[in-house]
Structure 1
Amino acid sequence: MTVVKIIKVLGTSNESWEDAARQAVAEASETVDDIHGVEVEDWTASVEDGGITEYKATVEIAFPVHESA
């Protein structure tokens, strides 16, 4: 039986929502092994003077729970 853990992370980018999602996965992969899938839960942005200044992607990241040795 496989058990999967899901964590929620927020990625940010000055370029796009897609880049914000990529940043979220890249940062999570620094400390999480065997990421098997992601689901973008929400797209948001910071706005100043009528323009988007920062794109944000809330991403759920799925990875298997391994048995301890």
Structure 2
Amino acid sequence: MSVVKVIELLAESEQSWEDATRKAVAEAARSVRGIRSVYIKEMQATVDNDQVRTYRINAKISFVVENT
């Protein structure tokens, strides 16, 4: 039986919400192994001069806890 842990990250991109998601997973992968899924809890964007400037996400990343 495996145990799954969930961590929550905030990420930002100037390109898209998808790019922000990739950045969140890449950052988590620097210290976590066995990432199984990412759930986007919230999406936001910042606006300046009537233009979208940044895309922000609040992501929940789940991974399997390894036995030591």
Q: So what's the TM-score if we normalise by structure 2?
A: 0.90
Structure 1: give runs of 5+ residues left out of the alignment.
Answer: none
Which residue does 1:38 correspond to in 2?
38
How much does 1:65 deviate? 1.1
More strand by share: 2
Determine what percentage of the aligned residue pairs are the same residue.
40
How much does 1:11 deviate? 1.5
Report how many residues are paired: 68
Flag as ranges the 4+ runs of structure 1 deviating above 2 A.
none
For 1:14-63, what per-residue CA distance to the aligned partner results, in whole angstroms no more than 9, with x for missing partners? 01111111111111111111101111111111111221111011111000
Which residue does 1:20 correspond to in 2?
20
**What RMSD, in angstroms, separates the aligned Cα atoms of the two structures?**
1.0
Q: For residues 30 and 37 of structure 1, what CA distance do their matches in structure 2 show?
A: 15
1:46 alignment partner AA:
T
Q: For residues 19 and 36 of structure 2, what CA distance do their matches in structure 1 show?
A: 19
1:11 alignment partner AA:
A
Question: SS at the partner of 2:35?
Answer: coil
